[in-house]
Amino acid sequence: RDKLQTESVDNFVAELKTLAKTCNLCECLRDSLIHDRIVLGIKNEQTTKKLLRTRDLTLNKCIDICRSEEVTDMQVKSLAEPENINQLQSKAKIKPRVFEGKKRLQSGKKVSCKFCGYEHAPDKKKCPAWGKTCNRCKERNHFAKKCKKTSVYSIESEDE
């Protein structure tokens, strides 16, 4: 028996298990035959290839792979539908959120600055460190007290 195009993986497996019970086989042989029938009965070439490439494929692994491929196929088909494409395009037109710093600037709050260490409006150009050179690392736009570069101190040993 092959999986029908409209049939879910779970229904296909349940039907195979029901058919296998009527054969009066031991459980290990039954699982092996169900596993083989799934691999051969799935009519999705991509899923079949994935099943055949999987090492030590158990019945449970086989079912899990088929389920995940089924869900992936449904999601891809859903995204390809014209109404979903239009929804994605309309969402892309929404303006991005305003940067938090600008919100705070509009409210007039002062914040502790990570570049100079003082409190001022959250605007880089209002920062007293803006355009200045750090005395520690010689890079621009921050003061030494807020410098992120670590200093390496050398220790000299005295020879006796």
pLDDT one-digit tens code per residue, 86-99: 555 555 555 554 44
57 CB burial (10 A radius; 0-12, 13-18, 19+): middle
Q: How far is CA 34 from CA 19, 21, 56, in A?
A: 9, 11, 15
Greater confidence, 111 or 17?
A: 17
One-letter identity of residue 84: N
pLDDT over 80 at 156, yes or no: no
pLDDT for 141-151, tens place per residue? 888 888 887 66
pLDDT band at 100 (very low <50, low <70, confident <90, very high): very low
Query: 100 near 114, Cβ under 8 Å?
Result: no
Task: Report which of 17, 58, 11 is spatially closest to residue 39, judged by C-alpha positions.
Answer: 58
Predicted structure pTM score: 0.50
